[in-house]
Amino acid sequence: MRRLIGELQKQLKYQIIGPFLLLAIVVAIVGLTIVAFFLARQQQDRFDNELAAATRTVSDALLAQEQANLSFLREVAFAQRNESINAPAVADAFYENNVEGLRLALEPFFLQGTRRSDVRLDRLMAFDRNGRTIVDFERPPLAGEETYITHDSIDLSSAWFTSRILNGEADERGDKYAGLIQFSNTQTLYLATIAPVRRGNEVVGGLIVAIRIDNLLNTVVQQSRLDGIILYDQEGNLIATTFSSQVRPAPLRQELVSQVKANPDPYGQTLFTIETINGVEYQFAYVPLTIRGGRAGIMATARTREEVLLTWNNISPLLALITFSLGLGIAVLGLWVARRITRPLEVLAETASAVVNGDLQRRASVNTQNEIGVLAQQFNRMTEYLIELLAQVRAEARQRTAIVESITDGIIFIDVHGEIRSINRATRHLLGLHDDTALPRRLSDLPLKPLTEGIPGFGDQRAQNLYTLGSYIVRLSVEDVREDDGHLLGYVAVLQDLTEEVMVDRAKTNFIGTISHELRTPLTVIRGNADLLARGLAGPLEDEQKSFVEAIRLQANNMTNLISNVITIANLDSGSLKSTLEPIEVQRPLEDAIWQMQGQIKAKGLRLNVEIPRKLPMVLADFDHVRTITLQLLDNARRYTSAGTITVRAIPQPDVLKIEVSDTGRGIPSNLHQQIFERFFRGDGTNEGINSGERGIGLGLAICKQLIERLGGTIGVESTPGQGSTFFFTLRYADDTATPEKPATGLESAA
């Protein structure tokens, strides 16, 4: 049928009569559809109103049942001594722990409750001050009115209502409670009402009246002309239904749960859905499930939609008959007229199809003198022009292909749908593909893995978009391919082989790291011997000798710190420095860093203030990284502060923990706030300490920046010349599982 329709659409004669046929059919359908729509709409509105009314009836029935339970509990709780059966008063039996007397007093009420149509009692329970049941009557399902069983004692002390009842707690709705409860000794769900039993002002126990929720729902379904009721909890999970277990409904969709909760007038603007259960189409109405005046879940009532569907089913045959008759008449008349017009066009179309299929010698032979004849002549001339143009295009295409194939970088062309259309010889070499091997489908199918360790460059000038491709290291660049008018044709990806450059950079980094390690060993010996001499362990020193030894020790420490920074940078570049993100107490690494630096700070005559609260949230960080960052910031503050105070603060903020290191130095100009975190940047020579004996090589803040970025935090400085500086960094809290965002690359955008 589809093939027949496709063939008809290809022929002009059918396209000519098609609009008239379609117009007639549309007019007929629209008219009849409007009538059918209003009838169906009227029927649907009536159906919605009936379902909404039935839903209100169900809610009223649940409320009435709850009120009947409360009234029945009041009768039982205040029951006095029954001389006819020698039963004590209920409150006295609780107070005296008279279990047998309590059974004797409650049994008549239980039997009466099973017979009363307003109570429909299924279970009556009494529990003592310890929260254990001492009387538990239950009528088995389908049992007679005089038949009941008793349950063994169960512990209700951990139930949500027990402590409230026994402690005499009351809220704005009173001291009696109700809810859907499933006891530990049964799988049955009950609508239960609980009330305290008082003797004077003292609570001596509690009573529970319970009705099986399935019995209650089935009774309400029969009274309200419904086909089913479903109860869900607050999260939309099924808790009770009148549908059979073979057609158990699924949990509610979360969007539907949210709509029910957000509905300000659930009974005035009832929320409806249409669902199919076991092949039957039902309409559901959703309202809050209200127990004891509060929302305990969601209630869905259902009716079959047979009434609504019947109206449309009755009208559909008439609409189809009228539409078919009208269409058939117009089609017969239109075919006769269209045939006389379209035959010359068919000849022209056949010629065009032959030319497209490669028969460039085919020409249209139409002898009419009207517009169609002129069209045929122009078509023949256009065919001649196309033959010449095709030869020219093929020559230019061969030239462009040769140019692309000769480029040493890999070239990949991707269409607007993200699929690879062509690659050059260099790309096949990088991928290890033969000329007859099929192309990868998408750019994301290439075995490209981001190069995360050992990336060449420095700081913000590090090479970007580097990937490993088998044994090669390449830079991927993706750009749009657009026409002159801006229309997007696709994308071109360039794979630049940087394997040799990266290897050279890594060799340089390893060389620097090795040299730094070798230098640190003799410096350790020099620093240790200088410390021994300064302490007088090799004999007393004169004042001038002490100054020489102190200068040796100071310069050895500076060189050790400098070499440590160089080794850290080398490890960062080579990827050998690992980061372990785990929840830590930030006080520990901060205190370690402060302890290591406080001697040097005091030796320079500076004050050190520590403002770290005793209790701070756990942060997600690397212990050693946090300590290293704090050490670098404290050392930087010490170097560039000649007098005054250095302060370390920990400030909890809503999303992050902020660590600050403030000094009273000369400050930093605002135009240098970003540059100071670059490697080997040491200021403009006007900052205090820049030409001092403690002058570094500008790696400390660069190390801090790279380490804090590994932890997913930020680092910055707030400074005004002449007013000191405040360096700060932020750490994520331990319960924040988000990872630092990475900039999008050409691989993601084109894939």
List, in order, residues 6 or more apart from 12 with CB less than 8 Å away. 338, 341, 342, 345, 346, 349
pLDDT of residue 745: 43
CA atoms of 669 and 268, how far apart (whole Å): 66
Residue-wise pLDDT tens digits, 269-283: 778 888 888 778 888
- Residue bearing tokens 């040493």: 408
Residue ranges of alpha helices (H) inside 150-276 are 162-166, 213-223, 254-262
CA atoms of 701 and 715, how far apart (whole Å): 9
C-alpha triplet 639, 711, 578: angle, nearest 5°? 90
CA atoms of 647 and 660, how far apart (whole Å): 8
Q: Which of 424-428, 674-678, 690-694 has the lowest mean pLDDT?
A: 690-694
- Residue bearing tokens 């062309």: 413
* Exposure on the CB side of residue 338, measured as CA atoms within 13 A: 18
How many residues can be counted in the chain?
Answer: 751
Residue ranges of alpha helices (H) inside 116-249 are 162-166, 213-223
What does the pLDDT average to over 102-121? 87
More confident residue, 163 or 31: 163
Asked if pLDDT for residue 582 goes beyond 50, the answer is yes
More confident residue, 444 or 682: 444
CA atoms of 90 and 68, how far apart (whole Å): 20
651 sits in which H/E element = strand 645-652
What does the pLDDT average to over 452-467? 60
Long-range contacts of 373-382 (CB under 8 A, 24+ apart): 373/344, 375/348, 376/344, 376/347, 376/348, 376/351, 379/348, 379/351, 379/352
CA distances from 201 to 72, 164, 168, 613 (A): 21, 15, 9, 49
pLDDT of residue 148: 87
CA atoms of 466 and 502, how far apart (whole Å): 10
pLDDT of residue 656: 93
pLDDT of residue 461: 47
Asked if pLDDT for residue 132 goes beyond 90, the answer is yes
Residues above pLDDT 90, as percent of the chain: 20
Distance between start and end Cα atoms, the chain:
39
Which range, 412-421, 469-478, 693-702, has the best average confidence (pLDDT)? 412-421
pLDDT of residue 11: 63
Binned at pLDDT 50, 70 and 90, residue 145 comes out as low
List, in order, residues 6 or more apart from 263 with CB less than 8 Å away. 269, 271
Question: In sequence order, what DSSP letters do the residues of 591-628 get, joined into one string?
Answer: HHHHHHHHHHHHHTT-EEEEE--S----EEE-HHHHHH
More confident residue, 412 or 26: 412
Q: Which of 11-15, 65-69, 686-690 has the lowest mean pLDDT?
A: 686-690
Q: Which of 4-8, 369-373, 404-408, 468-472 has the lowest mean pLDDT?
A: 4-8
Asked if pLDDT for residue 744 goes beyond 60, the answer is no
List, in order, residues 6 or more apart from 685 with CB less than 8 Å away. 691
* Exposure on the CB side of residue 387, measured as CA atoms within 13 A: 11
pLDDT of residue 249: 76
Residue-wise pLDDT tens digits, 7-23: 555 566 566 666 766 77
Cβ atoms of residues 586 and 629 within 8 Å:
no
CA atoms of 367 and 374, how far apart (whole Å): 9
What does the pLDDT average to over 637-655? 91
Q: What angle, rounded to 10 degrees, do the helices at 12-77 and 2-10 form?
A: 140
User: Beta partners for 206?
Assistant: 127, 196
Asked if pLDDT for residue 223 goes beyond 90, the answer is no
Binned at pLDDT 50, 70 and 90, residue 2 comes out as low
The order of strands in the sheet holding 123-127 is 149-150, 133-138, 123-127, 202-212, 190-199, 177-181
Residues above pLDDT 70, as percent of the chain: 77
Beta-strand pair 190-199/202-212: antiparallel
Other C-beta atoms lying within 10 Å of the C-beta of residue 674? 12
Beta strands in 278-355 (DSSP E): 280-291, 294-304
Listed residue (391, 388, 387) closest to 360, CA to CA: 387
**DSSP 3-state assignment of 731?**
strand
pLDDT of residue 311: 62
CA atoms of 121 and 401, how far apart (whole Å): 89
pLDDT of residue 341: 67
What does the pLDDT average to over 312-336? 69
CA atoms of 716 and 725, how far apart (whole Å): 11
- Residue bearing tokens 């022929």: 11
* Mean pLDDT of all residues belonging to the chain: 80
CA atoms of 657 and 589, how far apart (whole Å): 14
DSSP 155: B
Long-range contacts of 694-697 (CB under 8 A, 24+ apart): 694/554, 694/558, 694/639, 695/639, 696/558, 696/561, 696/562, 696/565, 696/639, 697/562, 697/565, 697/566
Residue-wise pLDDT tens digits, 502-518: 776 666 666 666 665 56
Asked if pLDDT for residue 718 goes beyond 70, the answer is yes
Asked if pLDDT for residue 30 goes beyond 70, the answer is yes
pLDDT of residue 103: 93
Which range, 258-267, 331-340, 517-526, 680-689, has the best average confidence (pLDDT)? 258-267
Question: Residue 612: is it exposed, middle or buried by C-beta count within 10 angstroms (0-12/13-18/19+)?
Answer: middle
What does the pLDDT average to over 145-170? 89
Asked if pLDDT for residue 1 goes beyond 70, the answer is no
Rg (the chain; Cα; Å)? 44
Q: Which of 169-178, 371-380, 490-499 has the lowest mean pLDDT?
A: 371-380
More confident residue, 232 or 186: 232
Asked if pLDDT for residue 729 goes beyond 80, the answer is yes
Cβ atoms of residues 167 and 197 within 8 Å:
no
What does the pLDDT average to over 94-117? 89
Residue-wise pLDDT tens digits, 357-403: 877 777 777 777 777 777 777 777 787 787 878 778 878 777 877 78
CA atoms of 62 and 216, how far apart (whole Å): 8
Say what the alpha-carbon torsion angle 112, 117, 122, 123 is, to the nearest 10 degrees.
Answer: -50
CA atoms of 361 and 510, how far apart (whole Å): 71
